[in-house]
A and B are shown apart, each in its own frame.
Chain A
Amino acid sequence: MTVGVLAVQGDVREHLRVLERLGVAARPVRRPEELAGLAGIVLPGGESTAMWRLMRATGLAGALRNAILAGLLAFGTCAGMILLARRVTNWPETFLGVLDIAVERNVIGRQVDSFEAQVAANGLGELPAVFLRAPGVREIGPGVRALGRLGDQPVLVEQGSLLAASFHPELTGDTRVHEMFIQMCRKGESWQHA
């Protein structure tokens, strides 16, 4: 099983490192043809507008959207969550638009207010989390489950084959959220091969 990491821009190396630590074959994805043969893909943190322009420049934007709609599992962190969201409340573009949530880009404001905190997650307990100019989840569709919250705000959500966090589990050394995604990928794979 191979998991890809969208590698047009952002903290790609950190995600690759976590996946490798968990014994999963992982490789960067910059071009549409590199999507072939993946069990899942991680969309890392970075700048969503920059990532989107880079994805459009090579046709990766459309190819990735089609792959996800065809069942490719995806896990987005921070900017990755914004790319997956159905709607961005404070930005004129919709990006991949596959996850039924509405997000607001950068609810934190300026970087001096970015922070670390503990997040309460279903079945996982307390998770250390780093929030960097993070998106806020403003609406959740009926098929979406909130798996983790900070106060009463959803920060970790799941919808079938999609997982998204508004924080950066790849920066903390705690691999539980990635393990959850790998479980999803393994299930997806065994289902495909059944």
Chain B
Amino acid sequence: MDNGTYRVKTGFAEMFKGGVIMDVTTADQARIAEEAGAVAVMALERVPADIRAQGGVARMADPVRIKEIQAAVSIPVMAKARIGHLAEARILEALGVDFIDESEVLTPADPFHHIDKWQFKVPFVCGCRDLGEAARRIAEGAAMIRTKGEAGTGNVIEAVRHMRLLNDQIRRLAGMSGAELVSYGKEIGAPVEVLELIQEQGRLPVVNFAAGGIATPADAALMRMLGCDGVFVGSGIFKSADPERRAKAIVVACTHYDDPQLLAEVSAGLGEAMPGIPIEAIPTEELMQHR
């Protein structure tokens, strides 16, 4: 019996497809997410909107918080480690977290490197803004990719930007010769071996979710229309007026993204969405996606 193999890690990510992964900060919120039909929850101290508002250094959640959430639900529990923070990742692995998000939402810990994810039995998901970034994370052993978007804004434009860029770059690979692939890899900072895989399959070799700014059922449907396998919803649910109804609606929208009639039904009367932030209102140095 072999555990922690790449097939076990990437295969597990395949099981999330078509689903919604929700940020939660308490056991009660985790139960609401599970009841609404989330495929997993992300256990956090603070949702991204609060991290953005409060500032300071954002770190891995307290293990007490993570254990409470693990005890509350039967679905997988994910948690975030700071970019490059090997020790936080080891702690999360020891806690039996089902997936680690090496996340730009927390304050980065290593200015040079991401975590060497091949060294872990627990699978990792990492954010990307384009193909180069996705390919580098996959080369480091990420078993799942998500767009970075701009977390905590309730504004979907950055997630759309990242997915559009990724799609465009994957399409460009199709006609490239071996030599062109090497040059292109250099241009976008992508390892050529990973680009070869992506060229062959016409898509990323791992599951790709949308994240960062998704606040409504329509946002979730939009990201699925662009080709994302599923969505992460961070602040969008528990910063809204009626989290239970909104969570259920986003779950249905993620599956039936191409059924406008049903989208209209589930979008009706959900109450206030989270307050949003225009990206132009955020100073460049405070954008999480550049981490």
Contacts and interface: CB of A to CB of B under 8 A. Distances in A.
A130 interface: yes
A49 B75 contact: yes
Nearest to A108: B3
B12 A9 contact: no
B228 interface: no
B122 interface: yes
Interface in B31-79: 34, 36-40, 74-76
Interface core residue of B14, B18, B121 (most chain A CB under 10 Å) = B18
Nearest to B20: A50
Please classify how large the interface on chain B is, using the bins under 10, 10 to 19, 20 to 34, 35 or more.
35 or more
Contact of B38 (A50, A90, A133): A50
Interface stretch (A63-71, A111-119, A175-183, A186-194): A111-119
Given A112-B122, A116-B1, A117-B1, A106 B74 contact: yes
B183 interface: no
B221 to A, nearest CB: 14
A78 B12 CA distance: 11
B67 to A, nearest CB: 12
A179 to B, nearest CB: 21
Interface core residue of A9, A79, A133 (most chain B CB under 10 Å) = A9
B76 A133 contact: yes
B74 A112 contact: no
Interface core residue of A110, A111, A112 (most chain B CB under 10 Å) = A111
A147 interface: no
A46 B76 contact: no
A105 interface: yes
B19 A12 contact: no
B263 to A, nearest CB: 12
A97 interface: no
B18 A8 contact: yes
B117 to A, nearest CB: 13
A117 B16 CA distance: 22
A50 to B, nearest CB: 4
Interface in A36-74: 45-47, 49-50, 53-54, 57-58
B96 A114 contact: no
A106 B15 CA distance: 14
Interface stretch (B149-157, B187-195, B249-257, B274-282): B249-257
A151 to B, nearest CB: 10
A109 B15 contact: no
B19 A9 contact: yes
Interface in B64-100: 74-76, 93, 96-99
B98 A111 contact: yes
Interface string A101-133: 000011001111111110000000000001011
A32 interface: no
Contact of A49 (B3, B12, B34, B248): B34
Interface in B83-134: 93, 96-99, 121-123
B271 interface: no
Given A7-B18, A49-B34, A110 B96 contact: yes
